[in-house]
Amino acid sequence: MARLAVNIDHVATVRQARGGDEPDPVVAAAIAELAGADGIICHLREDRRHINDRDLRFLRQTVKTRLNMEMAAVDEMIEIARNVRPDIVTLVPEKREELTTEGGLDVKANPDQYRKVVERLGHKGIKVSFFIDPDTEQIEIAHKVGADIVEIHTGHYSEAKSQSEEEERFERITRAIEMSAGLKLGISAGHGLNYSNIKRFRYLPQIEEYSIGHSIIARAVLIGLEKAVRDMVSLVKGF
Ligand code: PXP
């Protein structure tokens, strides 16, 4: 049975739209756990555009399942992770101008750097996951430099524009999963997964965990809207 880890970044995105303190991603994490989530994920970005240092600290104190901190492999973040000690760190490439994480890590370009990052985090008992395109060579190198887990990037699959493109991209994911399983890596998958395109993944039972954010928060807004409006209507009607 696969696990679901919920990414709560976009609760913080809504908060940041007004610069206040609502909605609180820490409360959202607690609700996700009460609903059965197996883990909570947040991405502390260099520009703090959604999740901030306070959120991460409070999440560390309150998350009862597993806290997974997504971050770039840079000194500032490594030091924060070593202090806060999330259960898992997921290393992602990060560009300031991107809307969301765009591609997987290029471990091949700098294996020694990644080996050192794994060591620095591993010393604090933190498991390290590498967010990687479904590219067997990158997976092999991630394994060599000490990754505990690979998270296979499903974003390109989720953006396929035709049936044949989707088939071809799913096939690449399948090969990547088989290679990762052969190397005895922990296996996760995520990015762009929604209530429809996730269905094919039932054929890949080797995937242990799914990392999903945007589609869940988007659905929550629509599903929750009716009740939120009714609550305000009944308040106003009582005047
Ligand atoms: N995995 C990683 C590494 C990500 O960066 C993100 C987005 O923050 C996700 C999974 C979740 O993607 P989505 O929000 O599209 O479900």
Could you give all domains of the chain from N- to C-terminal order, each with its CATH number?
3-237 (3.20.20.70)
**Is pLDDT at 40 greater than 80 in this prediction?**
yes
Rounded to whole angstroms, the Cα distance separating 93 from 91 reads 7
Q: Which of 10, 143, 153, 191 is catalytic?
A: 191
CB 104 within 8 A of CB 93: yes
Q: How confident is the model at residue 103 (pLDDT cuts 50, 70, 90)?
A: confident
Q: Which of 50, 70, 156, 209 is catalytic?
A: 70
Q: What is the average pLDDT score of the chain?
A: 96
Residue 143, pLDDT score: 98
**Is pLDDT at 61 greater than 70 in this prediction?**
yes
Rounded to whole angstroms, the Cα distance separating 193 from 201 reads 10
**149-183 exposure pattern, b = at least 16 Cβ within 10 A, e = fewer:** bbbbbbbbbbebeeeeebeebbebbbebbebbbeb
Ligand 1 atom with the smallest distance to the CA of 131 is: 3
> From atom 3 of ligand 1, which residue's Cα is the shortest distance away?
131
**Is pLDDT at 60 greater than 70 in this prediction?**
yes
User: Would you call 191 a catalytic residue per the annotation?
Assistant: yes
Q: How confident is the model at residue 21 (pLDDT cuts 50, 70, 90)?
A: very high
Question: Would you say the CB of residue 190 lies under 6 angstroms from ligand 1?
Answer: yes
Question: Would you say the CB of residue 133 lies under 6 angstroms from ligand 1?
Answer: no
CA of 101 to the centre of ligand 1 (A): 7
Mutation to probe ligand 1, out of 3, 10, 40, 41 (largest number of atoms < 8 A from CB)? 41
Residue 98, pLDDT score: 74
Quote the radius of gyration of the chain (alpha carbons, Å).
Answer: 18
CA distances from 69 to 49, 126, 131 (A): 15, 10, 12
Question: Would you say the CB of residue 214 lies under 6 angstroms from ligand 1?
Answer: yes
Q: Give, rounded to a whole angstrom, the gap between the first and last alpha carbons of the chain.
A: 51
What percent of the chain is modeled with pLDDT above 90? 96
The amino acid at 111: P
The dihedral of CA 85, 1, 207, 218: what is its sign?
negative
The dihedral of CA 133, 136, 140, 143: what is its sign?
positive
DSSP 144-168: HTT-SEEEEE-HHHHT--SHHHHHH
For residue 207 the two structure tokens come to 């995937």
CB 94 within 8 A of CB 45: yes
Question: Would you say the CB of residue 212 lies under 6 angstroms from ligand 1?
Answer: yes
DSSP 39-105: EEEEE--TT-SSS-HHHHHHHHHH-SS-EEEEE-SSHHHHHHHHHH--SEEEE----TT-SS--S--
- Span 158-201, pLDDT tens digits: 999 999 999 999 999 999 999 999 999 999 999 999 999 999 99
User: Would you call 159 a catalytic residue per the annotation?
Assistant: no
**Is pLDDT at 101 greater than 90 in this prediction?**
no
**Cα angle value 235/238/239 (rounded, 5°):** 100
CA of 158 to the centre of ligand 1 (A): 12
**Is pLDDT at 96 greater than 70 in this prediction?**
no
CA of 230 to the centre of ligand 1 (A): 32
Report the DSSP beta bridge partners of residue 150. 130, 187
- Span 198-224, pLDDT tens digits: 999 999 999 999 999 999 999 999 999
Average pLDDT over residues 78-107: 89
User: Would you call 43 a catalytic residue per the annotation?
Assistant: yes
Q: How confident is the model at residue 127 (pLDDT cuts 50, 70, 90)?
A: very high
What percent of the chain is modeled with pLDDT above 70? 99
Average pLDDT over residues 94-121: 88
Residue 194, pLDDT score: 98
**Is pLDDT at 99 greater than 80 in this prediction?**
no
Average pLDDT over residues 79-100: 90
Report the DSSP beta bridge partners of residue 91. 71, 130
CB neighbours (10 Å) of residue 72? 19
